[in-house]
Copies of this chain bind each other. A is one copy, B any other.
Amino acid sequence: MFNNLAPETDSASAPTADASCPKEVIDMRKFNDSIPLKLLRAREATMAFFRPILQEIGLTEQQWRVIRALNEYEELESKQLADICCILSPSLTGIINRLEASGHIKRRKSTEDQRRMLISLTDEAKTMFAGVSPRLEGRYHAIADKLSAEKMALLHELLDEVINLEP
């Protein structure tokens, strides 16, 4: 039997601790124990520290990720950018277009391989990045402080291992 019944009231059954879980389904994880969901929630929790600042400067998470990568690698191909930023190519196409239209990035074609598109930040974007980056770094430190540096380091290690998992 796979269905475990939640207690029924009319409108809502709260996330019950449910101590009456039968042994046949003892290994069945509860909904909230899902690792992918927890990773999603954890990401939301951390992004909550940065979102207000990004919203203030009118950039989305993904746009900032692209700008941050370009600030570090100077010039990148579209595919490299997609890999680094964890954004699929079709999504990146739109992001690049909008960032170019807003004057944050510039593009040129590789002279060797006409397929490749090389992307880099404009001077204005570099200046903007330098101005905003400290504030975001501050929020990052806030996270590390609240969690403790030790746990933060441990989390990094574990996440690296998870990232390297392959089906």
Contact surface of A with B, Cβ cutoff 8 Å: 2-6, 8-16, 27-50, 52, 61, 65, 68-69, 71-77, 79-80, 83-86, 110-113, 116, 118, 126, 129-130, 133-134, 137, 139-140, 142-143, 146-147, 151-152, 154-156, 158-167
Contacts and interface: CB of A to CB of B under 8 A. Distances in A.
Chain A contact residues: helix, strand, loop or mixed: helix
A1 to B, nearest CB: 8
Given A6-B73, A12-B73, A143 B165 contact: yes
A101 B50 CA distance: 37
Q: How often does this chain occur in the complex, in copies?
A: 2
B130 A45 contact: no
30 contacts: A2-B134, A5-B84, A10-B113, A10-B118, A11-B112, A11-B116, A12-B73, A12-B74, A12-B75, A13-B74, A13-B76, A16-B73, A28-B137, A31-B68, A35-B152, A39-B40, A39-B43, A39-B159, A41-B163, A42-B162, A42-B163, A45-B162, A45-B163, A45-B164, A46-B165, A52-B167, A147-B161, A147-B165, A154-B154, A154-B158
Nearest to A18: B72
A39 B39 contact: yes
A37 B162 CA distance: 13
Contact of A86 (B10, B37, B118): B37
A73 B165 contact: no
A12 B71 CA distance: 13
Given A86-B44, A159-B41, A75 B11 contact: yes
Nearest to A72: B31
